[in-house]
Structure 1
Amino acid sequence: MDKKKRDAIENIAEEVRRIVMAGNSDNQNLDVYLRSAGVQVKYTDLSDTQIDGYLEWDIESLQPKIVIDAFEHPHRRVFSIAHELGHLVLHWKWVPTMDEFNKNSLITKQSGVVDVAYRRTDGEYTEQEKARETEANHFAASFLIPEQDIIDYVDDEQRDGKTGSQIILDIGERYFVSQETAGIRYRKAKEFI
């Protein structure tokens, strides 16, 4: 993915966060905020599948629905929710005000159901699917840990004498994300400091 596209996704993610989170910063309750924005979030057992989350259109409620494996680590669940939100926003063109335009753009003409998008655990994707997954991952990381927030945080923590390892641990706790996601955003922030 080129820099222009990465920056665009970063900006979209931060704007969607501003709307969905309504000034709140606790990623742990992302599912609650999404429900308020018109997105259903459901937890179920997906352990016997090759997926750990997917996105579908609920034709009864006329709302998008994110379905996540209930048995994943809580940090993984939050990232998966944000990842599926990325698909919803970037690939289904949904915005957090569910007007008639959004509803009509999501429902296919033949069946009334949108194709299911999902994150596979086996990693077997086409090139187009890989690109979409990369975009959704970048959206999720940007949504959960906004760029300017993390740059300011890392800069402050370094001035206080904290090591990179300690800052990464703190980022994970502060933003309720895995150490892997915290490390990626930490390294990105370091490019700007």
Structure 2
Amino acid sequence: MKNEKKVHDLANSVAVSLRSELNIKGFVGSVIGVIIDRLNINLMFIHIDDSKAKGFSAEVRNYQHIYINKNDYIRTQVFTIAHEIYHLLDKEVYEESLSADERAADHFAACFLLPEDEVIDFYHYEKKRRTDLEILYMISDISYTPYETVYRRFKELSLATKIIDKELKKSKDIFKSSLDTEEVFVKIRNENFGESILDNTSWNKKNLVSLIS
């Protein structure tokens, strides 16, 4: 538990530091391409057959590159870009183990895309008239962040998720283990609120580069 807290604390401090260094505020997923340019990182979208392979990063002759699976949802791609930024940052990294560094990169991405104050303020403002499930989808759309990431962020920040939990349990009982959590959130959304264009992978392949550049 202490090691996990150390991983999360480091990742959060790196995210806060980078946001301050770049002087950015609010949810930044929709402008991740601009951030990549400011960091002088080359971004490439490639076809990867393995659906579990989201992307990777590399530094070659002092040039930094991020490669993203073009078959993923836009939200997943944005999160993966943020995850890989962490790996490329010329800062202290958590090197106790590969898994710890991956968890740190995931937490950095969550903190970078979903800053604590922004999430809490937005949640409490909207909670006066909307359910926690509606707010989750709103924040996910605004931040271009995966539904599951927003859900975990709510849990980390001790924000109520009663309706989300109920819908997740009901849907997982129906679909059993055939869908991962992100896909379950997509199903819940489609059934209750209609489809989001950010979840349309065919649209995604044609428009992502111009959308986030």
Q: How high is the TM-score relative to the length of structure 2?
A: 0.64
**C-alpha distance in 2 between matches for 1:63 and 1:37:** 11
Which structure has the highest helix share of the two? 2
Which amino acid letter does the alignment assign opposite residue 27 of structure 1?
G
How much has 1:58 moved relative to structure 2? 2.6
Q: Tell whether 2:76 aligns with 1:79.
A: no
Query: What is the distance in 1 between the residues matched to 2:155 and 2:99?
Result: 23
Paired position in structure 1 for 2:155: 187
The amino acid that maps onto 2:149 is T
Deviations 1:140-186, CA, capped at 9 Å, x for gaps: 0001001111111112222x232111111111112111111111112
Q: 81, 93, 107: which is aligned to 2:91?
A: 93
Write out aligned runs for 1:104-183 (5 A): 128-158=97-127, 160-183=128-151
Distance 1:21 1:58, change over 3 A: farther
Percent sequence identity is 26
2:64 pairs with 1:58:
no
What CA distance in whole angstroms lies between the structure 1 residues aligned with 2:157 and 2:72?
28
Q: 1:156 is aligned with what amino acid?
A: Y
1:5-20 alignment, distance < 5 Å? 5-20=7-22
RMSD: 2.5
Secondary structure at the counterpart of residue 58 of structure 2: strand
Asked if 2 retains the 8 angstrom alpha-carbon contact of 1:44 and 1:69, the reply is yes
- How far apart, in 1, do the equivalents of 2:54 and 2:23 lie? 24
Cα 1:149–1:63 shift into 2, 3 Å: same
Kindly state the Cα deviation for residue 46 of structure 1 after the two structures are TM-superposed.
Answer: 1.6
CA distance in 2, matches of 1:17, 1:31: 15
Q: Which runs of 5+ in 1 are unaligned?
A: 95-126
- Segments of structure 2 that go 5 or more residues without pairing to the other structure are 161-213
- Give the total of aligned pairs: 155
Q: Structure 1 residues 42 and 187, CA, compared in 2 at 3 Å: closer, same or farther?
A: same
CA distance in 2, matches of 1:45, 1:150: 33
Aligned partner of 1:29 in structure 2 is 31
The answer on whether the counterparts of 1:157 and 1:167 sit within 8 Å (CA) in structure 2 is yes
CA distance in 2 between counterparts of 1:52 and 1:31 reads: 17
Q: Write the deviation string for residues 77-100 of structure 1: whole angstroms up to 9, x where unpaired.
A: 0000001112223xx538xxxxxx
Aligned to 1:68: 68
Q: Using the alignment, how far apart are the partners of 2:26 and 2:135 within structure 1?
A: 22
Deviation at 1:24, TM superposition (A): 6.8
Shift, 1:7, TM fit? 2.5
Structure 2 letter corresponding to 1:186: F
